[in-house]
Every structure is written in C-alpha cells, then in structure tokens.
Amino acid sequence: MPSFSSKNEVGLDGSFAQLPVSEPPEPTGRTKKILRRVLRYYSKVETPKNLPRSIDDIRLFFGLVKCRPWIIIVSGIIAQFLYGSLYSWSIFNDPINERIYGNADANMAQITFYIALGFMGTTAAAAGPWIESHHPRITTLIGCLLFFSGHLLSGLATYFNRIGLLYFGYGVVSGMGLGIGYVSTIDVVTKWFPKTRGLASGIAVAGFGAGSTAFSSIDRELIEKFGLPGTFFFLGMIMLVVQATSSQFMSFPPIGWNTNGVVVVGHNETLTARGRENIGQVLGHNRDIHQPEQTTTYLQLFDNERPVINITLASALGSRDFWLLYFGFLANELMGVVFISNLATMIQALFNSNGRTSELTPTTVVTIEAAFNMGGRMIMGFFSDRLGRKTAFLTLIGVQIIIISLIPHSILNRVFWEFCAFVWIATWCYGGGFGMIPAFLADMFGVNNTSSCHGIFLTAWSLGAIGGGLLYNGITRRLTNSGRKSSDPYIYNVNLYWILGIVVLGFVLTLFVRATARDRLFPAAPGQIMRIRIFGRIFRLTRVVNSIDPHRPTAPHVDMSMQESNKKRWFPKLKFEMLSSEQEQSLWEEYLLLRAIQSRLRGNMV
C-alpha cells in the first residue's frame, strides 16, 4: 500500500501502525526462485546512492563542464533526434526487398519495423527499474551502444543478403537500444524540471518527432550515395559518436531537487477561517484568525513538511489507476500508429487514382503530418502544466473521437483538404499523448517510479503498432481479395469503426483515473457508488435509502395503500451530484484536519 506521510507515516486507510514485513520462505525450485526475483525487481526501485548534495557538485563531460539544467535538456533532444530515425524505416523497405528478393513488393523488410517496435516496448518495460537505479550516463551509453551495434549488423545483413540477420540486427538489437535510450533520456529530463515536467518532457520527445521527419530525407540521400550497407555503417558511426557524447552530459539532479513521492497539496493552498480556528483549538494554538500573517497553511499544519504519498513501484503497478491510464494511452496512440502510418498509401489510393490528382503530393502531406506530430508533443506538454494532466489528456482523446467520427465523411466524398485537416489534428493528439505521459506518470506515482512506469507504458505503443497494424492489414487484405479496389472508401472506413470503438472505451476508462493524490485520498460519501473528476470538477453517484422501514409494524388505522407506498419508497434511490469548489474544499479540509489530529496524537504517544 502507498503511505501518506508528513513527519510520521500514516496509511491511506487512516491507520498508524506499520506492521513489520516478514520475508516469505525461500521457494524451492528454479522457476519459483526466478519468479520471486522478478517480483522483488518490480516491487521497489533502489535509487542510486551518493547523489550530489547540490547542483554545484555535479560535473558533466568527464568533469570539464558545470551542470546546468538547460544542458541536460539539449542533450536529451539530440539523443531523441537520432532515435527518431526509427520512423524513417519505410525508406529502406523497397531497396531492401529489391536487393534481397529482387522484388520491391516482397513485403519482407517491413517486418523489421514491427520487430523493432516490439522489442523497444518490451525492453523498456523490462529495464525500467534497472534504469532508475543506475546513473543515466551508464544507461544512455548502453542504449547508444546497442543502437549502434544493430546498425552494424543491419549493414552486414544487407551486404550478405540475409533477412534473418536484418531482423535480429535492427529489429532486436537496435530495438533494445531504443527502449533503454528512449526511457532513460526522458526520465532524466523529467527529473530536472519538477515545476514544468510537461513542457520539459514534451520538448525532449519532440526531438524524436523531428528526427523522424529529418531522416526521411537523409536516409534517401545516403542510400543513393553509399548504397544500403554503406548507409547502415555510416548512420551507425554517426549515432555512436553523437549519442555517446550526449550521454556524458546526463546526470540525476541533486538531493532535494524533487519531492520524494507524490505531493498531496501545494504551498499556496490555505485553510479557510473556520478550518484554521478548528485546527488551532485542537492543537492548542490561540491565534487571531483575522491576522493575515498568522494564516495557517497546509505546509505549517504538517510541521513544515509537505504531506506526501510515498508509493512503491509494486503499489503503482498494481493500482487500478495505472492500468486505466495505460489503456487510455493505448487508445490515444492507436489512430496514429495504425491509420496515420498508412497515410501516404491512402492519399495515393483515394485522391490520386481514377484520373484524380490531389492538391499536395503524398510526401508533402506526410511531412506536414510529422510537423503536427512534433508540435503536439511539445505544446501539449506545456498545456498539461497549466490545465492539469487529466484534463489535457481527456481533451486529446475527446478530440480524436470527434475527428474519427468525421473522417468517413471526407473519405466518402473525397474532400482532400477536409481529410488532411482531420488527419493533421489527429496527429497532433497522437504526439501530445507522448509529450505529456512521462510528466503524468511522475505526478501520479512519483519521480522515482517514472522510468519503470514509462517503460511499461511503451508496451502499449508496441501493442498498438503490432496488434493494430496486423488487424488493419488483415482487414484491408481480406477486403481487397474479395474484389474491392484499394481506392474503395469502404476499406478505410471499416478500419476507422473498430479504432473508434477502442478510442471511446479509452476515454471512458480515463475518466475513472484518480490522477492526483487528492483524488486518491478524498473521503468517500456515505453510500457512494462511484466518483470521478471531469475537467476539474468532482461528480459522484451515491445510494440514498429512505428512512421508512417496510418491516416496521403499522398502526391499524393506517391505510393499506399508504403501506404499499412506503414499501416502494424504501427501495434505494440514486443521487448524482456535482460538488462545487467550496464543497470540495470543505470536505478536503475536514480530511486534513483528521489527519493532523491523528498525526499529533501519535507524536504525543511516542
């Protein structure tokens, strides 16, 4: 269970006692031992020891450069830019198929991309706790070396025409490097900017989007100049030098830079006059509530320490909020990884066939789409700092629901500019989800758990790309084999329908995510069935039972119709209400008052 702490530890259920945790008996058998090690690995993150005391104690690049936060984020952008070359893999498909199989339409090189995405997600999920417990110079350098090694193996695979070696080299090895390098870079940047996590992580992830745009042109030029093997060797060397250099500018922030856990309340929240008076009476303080300089804040209430929820990795991964948000993230990214990844083919089939010519070439549309992807990552991260993570995330999914519902109209009527506008907006939402999710996880589960949680979240990206991609291609292939042409709008609209269903479900599940410590600790109402926060307001459904008991003896003169009416009134009623800001604040103050009393009583008993 996560714990609520100020000076003393208080459980989320209100209890004080911390029971000693007894180690379970050592299991017998190799399988059980491995299982226990895995459970221990994902139970708690061991943070690095001997962290510096201040920023002046941190030296970068072999001790030659003083540490500054802006240096960390620039290094992160450079690393992410090179990792973004993954999204330019489609440039290699036709040349590789032509070289190995003698047919550009062999459709074998495309499998490499799906393997890389799969290993990126699984490696990130497996390495998350390890990344969190080791220095970022080590983790980013290992990611860089794996990414470089995968490129070298890919060069050998294309030189000797071995598709299996290509799958292993770029798909497995480079995919593993991507998973480690991506998560460790974003984790460091998020830790250095606690007050603007959304903007910082969004800027870093925008580097990934920029790389996907730039390398589409770079790879094409390199293939024409050096050939396939030479291109992989050249790219590998460039990435080794640049990424290894940027890894030497990575460092964790000093002790005290971030709050150890999830903050329950902020510095600027104050109690009402009534709350201050009650707290003063209970704690034995005689203060004039009309004097501004004596205003009691939550910070003062908890002995000058901010109340914090300390969440272990096991409790984070085992919470319903984690998996609800996981599915919401999958829903938000599904449209991008499945539908928009086939954008060039769709434009060619829908708007450049049967004598029609689109106003923009497919390459131009895809380039603009990449710009929206990059802009969404950065700007939505900034807005999530202002609007709140959950509000911003729900907005992204909600906009996608509207867009996916409208795209079939533009496809059926072949309205080019309408179609492009819808797709670009959906791409903005797709990128925005990647930009704000690291900060979202840090806010919900603490900065010490960010790498582990973020790594597991990337499996949603892999699941959407592989599972969704296979489903999309399977439906498309079946419809075309049944006699429909590739320019038939029905093919694309059918795929939009199942995507829309998943996105709607993701929106509904995200509504129930308790995104803040306040939401997780907020006291339940009597008879409460459900409580959710939507765009900053609390809505709750409660069960209200009439006080008239149908089994109570009734006086002889009471009419039988009255008794029947009373029986009907006894059945529970449901009450749906929206709490005002004043009601929510009053209930929250009462909760904190109770915690303050319990904490003070525990201190007196000790």
pLDDT in tens, 439-459: 999 999 998 899 999 999 999
Q: Reply yes or no on whether the pLDDT at 328 is more than 70.
A: yes
Whole-number percent of the chain with pLDDT over 90: 46
Q: Reply yes or no on whether the pLDDT at 73 is more than 90.
A: yes
Q: Reply yes or no on whether the pLDDT at 552 is more than 60.
A: no
Q: Name the residue among 459, 441, 436 with its Cα closest to residue 120.
A: 459
Identity of the highest mean pLDDT range in 56-60, 77-81, 517-521: 77-81
The tokens for 167 are 């799958």
In this structure, the strands spanning 528-534 and 65-66 are unpaired
Euclidean distance between CA atoms 436 and 414, whole angstroms? 34
Q: Reply yes or no on whether the pLDDT at 17 is more than 60.
A: no
Q: Chain-wide mean pLDDT for the chain?
A: 82
User: Would residue 454 be called left, alpha or beta, if left means φ above 0 and alpha means ψ between -120 and 50 degrees?
Assistant: alpha
Geometric angle at alpha carbon 577, from 574 and 583, rounded to 5°: 135
Torsions phi, psi of 96, nearest 5?
Answer: -70, -45
Euclidean distance between CA atoms 87 and 287, whole angstroms? 63
Q: Reply yes or no on whether the pLDDT at 535 is more than 50.
A: yes
Euclidean distance between CA atoms 220 and 214, whole angstroms? 10
Same fold, 30-258 and 307-515: yes
Confidence of residue 216 (pLDDT cuts 50, 70, 90): confident
Residue 529: its pLDDT value, please? 87
DSSP string, 207-224: HHHHHHHHHHHHHHHHHH
Among 263-272, 280-289, 436-445, 477-486, which is the least confidently predicted range?
A: 280-289
Torsion of CA 250, 80, 225, 107, to 10 degrees: 140
Residue 444: its pLDDT value, please? 92
The tokens for 484 are 């429909």
Q: In this predicted model, which residue has the larger pLDDT, 28 or 436?
A: 436
Q: Environment class of residue 271 by beta-carbon count within 10 Å: exposed (0-12), middle (13-18) or buried (19+)?
A: buried
Euclidean distance between CA atoms 259 and 306, whole angstroms? 9
Q: Does domain 30-258 have CATH number 3.40.47.10?
A: no
Residue pLDDT, tens place only, 104-136: 878 788 889 889 988 999 999 999 999 999 999
CATH number given to 307-515: 1.20.1250.20
For residue 316, the Cα-to-chain-centroid distance in whole angstroms is 13
Residue 603: its pLDDT value, please? 65
Secondary structure of residue 538 in the 3-state scheme: strand
Euclidean distance between CA atoms 366 and 336, whole angstroms? 12
Asked if 309 and 517 count as a contact pair (C-beta separation under 8 A), the reply is yes
Residue 307: its pLDDT value, please? 66
Torsion of CA 371, 118, 506, 404, to 10 degrees: 40
Mean pLDDT of 521-542: 86
Domain layout of the chain by residue ranges: 30-258, 265-306, 307-515, 522-605
Residue 8: its pLDDT value, please? 36
Confidence of residue 289 (pLDDT cuts 50, 70, 90): very low
Among 32-36, 176-180, 487-491, which is the least confidently predicted range?
A: 32-36
Q: Reply yes or no on whether the pLDDT at 415 is more than 70.
A: yes
Confidence of residue 28 (pLDDT cuts 50, 70, 90): low
Q: Reply yes or no on whether the pLDDT at 40 is more than 80.
A: yes
Mean pLDDT of 507-526: 89
Mean pLDDT of 80-106: 89
Contacts of 402 (CB under 8 A, 6+ apart): none
Mean pLDDT of 536-564: 62
Torsions phi, psi of 121, nearest 5?
Answer: -70, -45
